[in-house]
Amino acid sequence: LFFLFFSLFILSMLAVQVVTIRQTTVQFNDVLRSFQASMAAIQRVAAESFHDMSVQAARDLLLEITMAAWDSLQPGESEKFLYLARQQDAIPDLQEFSFYGPDGRVEMSSVPEAKGRAIPPDVWEEGQKTKEVVIREDEGAYLLFEPLLANGDMVRCHPEWKVGQYYGMLHIRFSKERM
């Protein structure tokens, strides 16, 4: 009888241990899944924030280049633009600096082979419509396009234009590598 009670006691303790281990395993797996989901969300938010900061840094660079290049876009000032474009080589990871003229083709560029290249039609149309920086990216770079609008000086040189008329885009190609 003692042996029977003792055996039942041992079996019941083993059953309790099995149930406890099973419950602990289930709870651990739930906590682990929750932790993995939280880590994935943090990683996603960090990647989005990093991307946004990288794009903003490229936008800031484009704004600075646009301000510096403005005078070089006046008629007869292409040498100034090309000089400025050559100076951009000093900026690590700036792969290209180009001017797309009114016909949507590269007129001047830091990359000689780019001359004559057509701008993607969707970029041209978006810039014309929104008059805001158009951003694209490919596997290795951010591509930023700044719409250019004629001011009074441009209209004096091009009487057929109107102030505010869309006449081209500045373009930079900035490597993602350092970002």
Task: Report the distance separating Cα 76 and Cα 72, nearest Å.
Answer: 8
| CB-CB neighbours of 73 under 10 Å | 21
Catalogue the long-range contacts made by 158-167 (C-beta closer than 8 Å, 24 or more residues apart).
158/75, 166/127, 166/128, 166/131, 167/101, 167/102
| Intervals of the chain under pLDDT 50 | none
Spatial separation of the C-alpha atoms in residues 25 and 35, rounded to whole Å = 15
The pLDDT value given to residue 119? 97
Tell me the β-bridge partners of 172.
Answer: 97, 144
pTM (2 d.p.): 0.63
The mean pLDDT value of the chain amounts to: 82
Res 12: pLDDT = 86
Strand 134-137 relative to strand 106-109: parallel, antiparallel, unpaired?
unpaired
Residues in the chain: 179
Q: How far apart are the first and last CA of the chain?
A: 77
Amino acid present at 108: M
Question: Could you read off the pLDDT of 55-105 as tens digits, one per residue?
Answer: 777 677 777 777 666 666 666 666 777 777 777 667 778 888 888 999 999
Strand order in the sheet with 94-100: 106-109, 94-100, 166-175, 141-149, 134-137
- Dist CA 122 CA 135 (whole Å): 11
Distance CA 84, CA 72 (A): 8
